[in-house]
Amino acid sequence: MSALVRSTFLVNAVYAESGREYGLTPQQGQLLCVLMAQPYGMGELGTMLRLAKSSLTGLVDRTERNGLVRRETDPRDTRAVRVALTPRGGRLAREFYTETCRRVETLSEGLEDAERDTLAALLGRVVLDNKAPMIFLEPDEGVPPTPGN
């Protein structure tokens, strides 16, 4: 299990380095990547990102000030708001996501194809067994177009 813990340090380091190059904190990078699929309500985002309401509000406020996300009325409940990517945020999210995936993929370059497949299957099982929310796209799903682009 220590290898799994150490591997999280590797992935987190790649993620943070990529984020710095794109002018994003790790939390902003996660927010943008989550929103690539669709806009979400604040409650949903809090659950997916495992953030308290006040922390999420601050994160959305800062990211909105940077012109990367916007709040919009939820069509199902006019009292609620959803958070969506702006066109600029969508472009940045796609670039950041693609580059970060490319960098993470290089971590396993020393493995044979079959070993990479086994690693992916085992990690996928750990994720499913622990009911981790599916908040990021699988590499073979590609990067979807962002609304407004």
- Report the percentage of the chain scoring pLDDT > 70: 89
pLDDT in tens, 85-95: 999 999 999 99
CB 19 within 8 A of CB 28: yes
pLDDT exceeds cutoff 60 at 144: no
For 2-141, CATH gives 1.10.10.10
pLDDT at residue 18, rounded to an integer: 96
Q: State the pLDDT confidence band at 7, using cuts at 50, 70 and 90.
A: very high
Hey, which bits of 1-149 come out as E strands? 40-41, 69-74, 77-85
pLDDT exceeds cutoff 50 at 9: yes
Taking the C-alpha atoms of residue 68 and residue 86, their distance in angstroms, rounded to an integer, is 5
* Beta bridge mates, 71: 83
Cβ atoms within 10 Å of 71's Cβ, excluding its own: 14
pLDDT in tens, 123-140: 989 988 987 766 666 655
Average pLDDT score over residue span 92-113: 95
Q: State the pLDDT confidence band at 79, using cuts at 50, 70 and 90.
A: confident
pLDDT in tens, 20-78: 999 999 999 999 999 999 999 999 999 989 999 999 999 999 999 999 999 999 888 88
More confident residue, 144 or 31: 31
Give which of 6, 4, 28, 1 is closest to 15, Cα–Cα: 28
Taking the C-alpha atoms of residue 24 and residue 14, their distance in angstroms, rounded to an integer, is 13
